[in-house]
Amino acid sequence: MKEKQTHSITLESTCKITDEICLPDTKLPRVVIVGGGFAGLALVEKLKHKEVQVVLLDKNNFHQFQPLLYQVATSALEPDSIVFPFRKQINGYKNVLFRLAEVEKIQPDSNTILTNKGSVSYDYLVLATGTTTNFFGMDSMAENSLGMKDIRDSLNIRHMMLQNLEQAAITCDDDERDALTNFVIVGGGPAGVEMAGALAEFCKYILPKDYPEYPASIMNIYLIEAIDELLSTMSDKASSKTLKYLEDLNVKVLLNEAVSNYDGKEVTTKSDKTILAKNLIWTAGVKGQFPNGIDGKHVVRGNRIKTNANLKVEGYENIFAIGDIAALISKETPKGHPQVAQTAIQQGKYLGDSILNIINNKSIKPFKYKDKGSLATVGKRKAVADLGKFKFAGYFAWLLWSVVHLMSISGFRNRLMVGFNWAVSYFTYEKSNRLIIRNFKPKSSVKNRTK
C-alpha cells in the first residue's frame, strides 16, 4: 500500500531531500525499475503510455552503450557519443519518471526501497542493476589495474594510456620506458579481444604520428587468457580466426595463462612469467551488483539473483530481476542466460508484457530466449560472426558488426556522431582528439597518499 504523497508533479522541483523521494500522487500501480541499462530501458519502452506509473532510478543520469566503451578508452570515440540522458530518452512519456538516486536497501515487507536520497514505495519492483568488475578477491589487482564497466573506467584507461606514453617520451630509464609502453589485457572474451585489437591499431597507426621520437615497436600488447582459447562462448572457428587476427596485429596472446599478482609495475603469472607494465586492463570477469535486502539463499554463482521462468525473484511475489543480474536456472540454462545486451533487451520486453498481464489478471508465459548470434570485432575490417549455422569472419562480419552496433545506440545524434567518426577512421585511421583533460591517479597511489 503506497503512502499518500503531498506534492503534485508540478511542484516536484521545490521538493527538498527528506525521508521520502518526491513523486506525484497516483492511483495507478507503481512499477519501480532500478537501473537504466539495456534491460531497464527495454522495460521502460514496453510500459510507456500504459496504465501504470513507472519510476526509473539510477545512480547516473544517463544510459551508456557498454559495447563501445573500449573505443572511448582508445580515443576512437568521445564519451558523449555513447551516453544518452535518461530525461531525453523518456521525454514525452507521461507515465514515466526518472529520479537520480542510488538504491541501498530493499524492504520487501513494506514494499519500500531506501536510497541515498530517500525512500520510494512500489507495487512492483524490478532489479536491473547489472554487473561490476570481479577481481576474484585479488586485492593487488583491484588496487592497481582498471576494469572497463562504465564510461568513467574508459576515460581512466584513456588518460592512463596517454599520460604513460607522454612520460615514456620523458624518461631515460629503459625499464621505466618499457613499463610505461607495455599494455596487458587480462581476459580473452569479447571485451578483451576488442580492446587488444583497438590498442594494436592505435600502436600501428597513431603512435608513429604522435610520438615520432620512438618506434611503434616499443609498445607491446599482451592478451592473457586462463583457458586454451579466445572467445570461449563462440565457435571454434571464431576463436581460431580471432587468434590469427590478433597475432597479425602483433598482439602477444598468452593462452592457458593466469595472472597471480600485479603491483602496478610488474605482472606475475602462475607459471612465473613476469611482464613490466604500468598499464593493466582487467576484463576477466564480472559479478552482479544489487541492493541489500534480497535473501542470500536466492543468490547464485556470480552474485546473480535466481529467478523463476517468469523472471520473478524466488521467494518474492512482486520483485523481479532482469538483465545481467538475473539467473534463470533450468535444464536448458544451468548457468543462466548469457550476460549480453540481447538477453537484457529480450527480458525487458518480456517483463513489460508480463507485468501488464499480471495487473489485468491474465496468464503469463515463461520467458524464452532467442539467440540471435554473436559478433566480435578485432579492428577495422576484421570481425567474427556466429549466426546460427552461419559462421564467418572478415570484412562482411565487420560490416555486420558495425551496422548492428550503430543501430543499437540510443539517439539519432549519437548514431550520427559514431557513424561519422567511424567513416573518418575508415579512410584515414585517424581517431578523436587525444587530450588529457584531467590527471589520472591510480587507486593505489591515492590510497598510499591518504594513509
Active-site residue list: 194
* Close Cβ partners of 184 (under 8 Å, ≥ 6 residues apart): 222, 224, 259, 267, 275, 277, 279, 280, 281
Q: How far apart are CA 190 and CA 199, in angstroms?
A: 14
Instruction: Classify residue 250 as exposed, middle or buried by CB count within 10 Å of its CB (0-12, 13-18, 19+).
Output: middle
Give me the sign of the Cα torsion angle 148, 150, 156, 162. positive
What is the pairing mode between strands 30-34 and 124-127?
parallel
Q: In what order do the strands lie in the sheet with 274-276?
A: 259-262, 266-269, 274-276
Q: Residues 6 or more apart from 339 whose CB is under 8 A from it?
A: 131, 286, 323, 324
Collapse the DSSP code of 326 into the 3-class scheme (helix H, G, I; strand E, B; otherwise coil) and give the result. strand
Q: Phi and psi (nearest 5°) for 59?
A: -75, -15
Quote the longest CA-to-CA distance of the chain. Answer: 74
Alpha helices in 108-232 (DSSP H): 139-144, 151-170, 174-181, 190-201, 207-210
d(CA 378, CA 398): 9
Is 210:202 a contact under the CB 8 Å cutoff?
Answer: no
What is the sign, positive or negative, of the torsion defined by CA atoms of 142, 144, 149, 152? positive
| Lookup: cell for 237 | 572457428
With contact defined as beta carbons under 8 Å apart, do 202 and 164 qualify? no
Indicate the pairing of strand 220-224 with strand 266-269.
unpaired
- With vertex at residue 46, the alpha carbon angle to CA 44 and CA 51, rounded to the nearest 5 degrees, is 90
- For 34, the 3-state DSSP assignment is strand
What residue type is assigned to position 247 of the chain? E
Task: Give dist(CA 208, CA 212) in Å, integer.
Answer: 5
Q: What residues contact residue 314 under an 8 Å CB cut-off, 6+ apart?
A: 298, 306, 307, 308
Supply the DSSP symbol for 182. Answer: E
The Cα–Cα gap between 335 and 302 comes to 10
